[in-house]
Structure 1
Amino acid sequence: MSEPQDPAPADSRRRLLDIARRFLGDAAAPLAVAPLGDGLINDSYRVQAPAGAFVLQRLNSAVFPAPERIMANLSALADAAAAHPELGVRLPALAAADGLAYVRDADGGLWRLMECIEPSRTLPALERPAQAAEVGRVLGRFHRLGASLEPAALAVTLPGFHHTAGYLAALEATAAEARLDDAGRDTLARIGARRDLVSVLDEAVARGDTRPRPIHGDPKLDNLLFDPAGERALGLIDLDTVQPGLLHHDIGDCLRSCCNRAGEAGAASARFDVGLCEALLSGYAETTAGLLSATEIDLIVPATRLIPLELGIRFLMDHLQGDRYFRVRHQGENLTKARRQLALVADIERQAEAVEAAVRRAFDQTHGPGR
């Protein structure tokens, strides 16, 4: 197998090959390395080796202050999956080098090599309710697996993640020092008009209506693998944000991503598909009967509004701070993304009664009428 040239400089390519071989243990093995995906945080590469295909990643230490914690969480999750095969949670296997699941490069960067689950694909959008139900089942099985772990068994990999009030405070402090154009001022005003929504989950925790559990943290459509036909969901990938959190963070983010007919990169006129929402939650309820209380089920609709609002806050803040967190292809992209998320919030609000009814129907199947 030849080692084809790629657009990266030769010294960078040699470094990637050297790091991959530290995991694979064969200095003479022919390898092909190519950039993989459009991830916003980590650097990712596909490695083709005689033993199969792998994903090589350098974790972004500017985002994750203690990347070793990520690797410890992945090990704990893999142990739980091995102890509960009946749940059918598919996780990419990690390669080891010198007894560790990661290596350090000369600059101190942390790299990992993991199985590339094949054959598989991601979907640009959900086209049918059956696909949405598959997504719900995969997320439900993952939450069932998380329920087998104590939250304290997992380290916090991303401090402040999903602390919406903290994001809003940081945004307002940034905006006070920034020069906003008309679009920026309008976006900030739309966020401010929903200030009452920002603490809805924090207040629920304070009342004892819900509690922290292990979560995925980023179950968007891009992080869901399907079979080649796009019919059966295989599992969740991108597990860097696995840590203690609220199930509603995952549910809201999954619905936000999977039920927007305009897509993640679609037009500002987002459209929340209530039919896909009901199908996804029906699949979730099918695999998680008894996991959520009736009060927690009632929090799903507020959470589904909150998560795109939170992401809109984060996109706008990054735009005002010079695009330091999310990678962008052009100036202003994060502002556009913020406005898309707020358009989605508005569409969910417009259909509030229909979304509430869809949630009730989805969970009535497993909890009974009235839950």
Structure 2
Amino acid sequence: MENKIIDTKITAEVVNQFEFNGEFIHIEPLGQGHINSTYAVYFRRETVPPIRYVLQRINTSILKNPLTLMKNIEGVTNHLRKKIMEAGGNPDRETLTIVKTKDGKLFYEDGDKECWRAYLFIEDATCYQSAEKPGLFYNSAKAFGRFQKLLSDYPAETLSETIEKFHNTVNRYKNFEKAVQEDRMGRAKDVQKEIEFVKARKDDCGIVLDLIEKKEIPLRVTHNDTKLNNIMMDNETNEGICVIDLDTVMPGSVFYDFGDSIRFGASSAAEDETDLSKVYMDINLFKEYVEGFLSEAGETLTKKEYELLAFSAKLLTLECGIRFLTDYLEGDTYFKIHREHHNLDRARTQFKLVANMEEKMEMMNEIVMSHCKN
């Protein structure tokens, strides 16, 4: 019944607010996102085929300032459109196209204070949940590398933080220390090994932030959620044509995007694997991603960024593990769990990856530096 009420509300009120082209046909749920509610909206036109748009209800409990959010996205996509057009590409296909409301706004706020936005649908392309076809991981690396390259001259300091301190590893460590000290669930005594693992790597947490503050590495536009399913892949070529889900686009470091890609994509096992003997970083997948990413972004990176690119994989994996362990100590209040000790299992998997990366760091650095032209 709830879905029917929502659908009625969308078709009766929300759809009519946007500059959609044609006669409304129908609406259907779209994708597997966990944050926003997403729909495909179909419109009939007289002399050309029907057209689809993407309509999203923004989750304002997480993305608390939709105006700031949409201004970020507008600025970045306008910049990308200009660069794509200069290169002779198709901006309607290679970046998100915001469809404004009929009164020229970036989003619509309905009578229930819910906020909606719309994009042009990118046809003949697919979002994959896993690298089920050969070359997809490499092509995703190229797509995120190209995203970095095209935005390398964007004034990152003009962007707002849509989620405060999202990749601030120092702040994540402070939250961890607080969780250990308060020990509100009485769980700290059973995870001393994991707690000591994190504490032994405290100094790693501040390296990137210190370099940004000292201006030894540039502040860059970063996507901050560089999973495979945030890229539209062309159905014919399997090339990554468009980076989507720009909600977490913020000022940051290239390390955030590269490091998290390796954490998630080069792992041999699921994020919550309980058999740690199955968990390691696949050096071949690491090499594949490095080659794809640097084939596009390489010319825009500084030597210092090259030197720490491999380290960033370890740092972002450590940060994620810290977040899982912190949530476990606090009573599993942030990440959804599906079994007892789920967040602890996730933390242990990340820490096993960190340890494995430390063993392979020399090899990882050699792979990265072999591509350095600076």
**Do these two structures clear the TM 0.5 threshold for a shared fold by scoring above it?**
yes
**Post-superposition offset of 1:270:** 2.6
Instruction: Choose which of 10, 20, 23 in structure 1 pairs with 2:18.
Output: 23
Q: Does 1:137 align with 2:142?
A: yes
Cα–Cα, structure 1 residues 155 and 237, in superposed 2: closer, same or farther, change >3 Å? same
Q: Does 1:201 align with 2:195?
A: no
1: distance between equivalents of 2:236 and 2:343? 33
Tell me the equivalent position of 1:43: 37
2: distance between equivalents of 1:55 and 1:320? 39
Is this contact kept in 2: 1:21–1:27, CA < 8 A?
no
Tell me the equivalent position of 1:161: 166
Is this contact kept in 2: 1:200–1:302, CA < 8 A?
no
2: distance between equivalents of 1:16 and 1:185? 50
Kindly provide the CA deviation profile for residues 167-220 of structure 1, in whole angstroms up to 9, marking residues without a partner as x: 111122123322244665444333223212111212322443212111112112
Instruction: Choose which of 105, 113, 116 in structure 2 pairs with 1:100.
Output: 105
Instruction: Choose which of 212, 218, 221 in structure 1 pairs with 2:225.
Output: 218
For residues 66-215 of structure 1, what are the structure 2 equivalents within 5 Å? 66-85=65-84, 86=86, 90-97=94-101, 98-126=103-131, 130-177=135-182, 178-181=184-187, 184-215=191-222
Is this contact kept in 2: 1:56–1:111, CA < 8 A?
yes
Q: Does 1:342 align with 2:351?
A: yes
**Post-superposition offset of 1:332:** 4.3
2: distance between equivalents of 1:10 and 1:47? 15
Kindly provide the CA deviation profile for residues 328-348 of structure 1, in whole angstroms up to 9, marking residues without a partner as x: 455644333333222222221
**Post-superposition offset of 1:71:** 0.5
Cα–Cα, structure 1 residues 190 and 115, in superposed 2: closer, same or farther, change >3 Å? farther
Instruction: Give the TM-score taking structure 1 as reference length.
Output: 0.85
For residues 187-336 of structure 1, what are the structure 2 equivalents within 5 Å? 187-228=194-235, 231-264=238-271, 268=276, 269-329=278-338, 332-336=341-345
1: distance between equivalents of 2:54 and 2:337? 22
Q: Compare 121-130 and 105-114 and name the one that shifted more.
A: 121-130
2: distance between equivalents of 1:57 and 1:262? 32
2: distance between equivalents of 1:111 and 1:320? 36
1: distance between equivalents of 2:279 and 2:236? 27
Tell me the equivalent position of 1:33: 28
Tell me the equivalent position of 1:3: none
**Post-superposition offset of 1:61:** 2.2
CA RMSD of superposed structures (Å): 2.8
2: distance between equivalents of 1:137 and 1:52? 29
Kindly provide the CA deviation profile for residues 268-298 of structure 1, in whole angstroms up to 9, marking residues without a partner as x: 5332122222222222222234311212111
1: distance between equivalents of 2:346 and 2:15? 35
1: distance between equivalents of 2:186 and 2:271? 24
Instruction: Give the TM-score taking structure 2 as reference length.
Output: 0.85
Q: Which AA in structure 1 matches 2:125?
A: S
Q: Compare 146-155 and 256-265 and name the one that shifted more.
A: 256-265
Cα–Cα, structure 1 residues 230 and 261, in superposed 2: closer, same or farther, change >3 Å? farther
Q: Which AA in structure 2 matches 1:228?
A: N
**Post-superposition offset of 1:233:** 1.5
**Post-superposition offset of 1:12:** 2.4
Q: Which AA in structure 1 matches 2:8?
A: R
Cα–Cα, structure 1 residues 244 and 11, in superposed 2: closer, same or farther, change >3 Å? same
Q: How many aligned residue pairs are there?
A: 358
1: distance between equivalents of 2:20 and 2:174? 48
Q: Which runs of 5+ in 2 are unaligned?
A: 45-49
Q: Which AA in structure 2 matches 1:114?
A: Y
Is this contact kept in 2: 1:315–1:337, CA < 8 A?
yes
Q: Which AA in structure 2 matches 1:14?
A: T
For residue 307 of structure 1, give the secondary structure of its aligned residue in structure 2.
helix
Q: Which runs of 5+ in 1 are unaligned?
A: 1-6
Tell me the equivalent position of 1:12: 6
